[in-house]
Amino acid sequence: MAPTSMAQALNAALRDAIAEDERVVVFGEDVGKLGGVFRITDGLQDAFGEDRCFDTPLAESGIAGFAVGMAMAGFRPVVEMQFDAFAFPAFEQVVSHVAKMRNRTRGAVALPMVIRIPFAGGIGGVEHHCDSSEAYYAHTPGLKVVTPSGAADAYSLLREAIEDPDPVVFLEPKKLYWSKEDVELPVTTEPIGRAAIRRRGRDATLIAYGPSVPLAMESAAAAAEEGWDVQVVDVRSLVPFDDETVTAAVRETGRCVVVQEAQGFAGVAAEIAARVQERCFHSLSAPVLRVSGFDVPYPPPKLEHSHLPNVDRVLDALARLQWDDQPDVKWLDAREGAA
């Protein structure tokens, strides 16, 4: 097996899908001759022609709307939104039409399409280039939402998303594009709707997805030096969500911290924490905690490191999991301070 980057795996997935299915078309801003700003579509137009991989005007709403029409006509469009927040002009198309078409037509019209969105931070970008928009899509019924954390999953999830009969929002962690793992392509990993245990442990469970999974793994290794045996769950599929694997993992340890890069309020981590609380209450030795980005607009590059979750913040959360059976007084202290 050779070291393969996530970008190479995504490119291979698109290449194989186009080669195997004449209905697959790839389009978006600069995805043709340039190969996309992150070179995910590099070489596809040269290999398959301008009918299978082509550029569009700088109009994200038009890209999404065009994809709706092509999907209704029998194609399997895969569109690229250049950056996370660039997809917001297409949000009305996604929420009002992409997500609702099957339900609106009582199942008569499905939209097998994939919306690829480079998302999250860690590359020294600014707002509009580093937003974590997953909660908007996960909150919209009718969409599947997935995000890989490595090359193997990137390949497998994208191939499955393209073959899916319904629309899939495919969130690609930008800072992981150049991360590598030893993998032989093609590869098939867990299907959409299943989480994966990335590290086994007995004392606490870290739950993460996409860009936060490497951080969770690094934190688990650091926690071992503190004497905590921590396991890591990679959610992979935000919608549908794998309650079975997550619940079983938390029940094994009785302690849980959810890690996400996005702002904390009303985020995906809040939904995960609520579901764990509902399903694992009698197995928990401490409240479910979250580590997230702060509730502010994405900061400028020089302050990015202060905004994003890091190992120290995850270790701080692990330390608050009532190991000595004493209550966590953090919020009691805050209330007294406010008084």
What are phi and psi for residue 302, nearest 5 degrees? -70, -15
Q: DSSP assignment, residue 297?
A: S
> Taking residues 227-256, what's their average pLDDT?
98
Q: Are strands 196-199 and 230-234 parallel, antiparallel or unpaired?
A: antiparallel
- pLDDT by residue (tens digit) across 67-125? 999 999 999 999 999 998 899 999 999 999 999 999 999 999 999 999 999 999 998 88
Q: DSSP assignment, residue 192?
A: T
Task: Find out whether 221 and 231 touch, Cβ atoms under 8 Å.
Answer: no
Task: Find out whether 240 and 144 touch, Cβ atoms under 8 Å.
Answer: yes
Task: Find out whether 197 and 213 touch, Cβ atoms under 8 Å.
Answer: no
- pLDDT by residue (tens digit) across 253-281? 999 999 999 999 999 999 999 999 999 99
**Any idea which residue has 């030893």 for tokens?**
182
Q: Is the confidence at residue 178, as pLDDT, over 80?
A: yes
Token pair, residue 272, equals 């995960």
Distance (Å, whole) CA 195 – CA 279: 16
Q: What is the pLDDT of residue 339?
A: 44
Distance (Å, whole) CA 15 – CA 28: 16
Q: What is the pLDDT of residue 185?
A: 96
The answer to whether the pTM exceeds 0.85 is yes
Distance (Å, whole) CA 64 – CA 38: 20
- pLDDT by residue (tens digit) across 287-318? 999 999 999 999 999 999 999 999 999 999 99
Q: What is the pLDDT of residue 118?
A: 96
Distance (Å, whole) CA 19 – CA 179: 26
What are phi and psi for residue 293, nearest 5 degrees? -65, 165
Positions annotated as catalytic residues are: 129
- pLDDT by residue (tens digit) across 209-233? 999 999 999 999 999 999 999 999 9
Cα-Cα end-to-end distance for the chain: 61
Domains and CATH numbers, the chain: 4-181 (3.40.50.970), 196-320 (3.40.50.920)
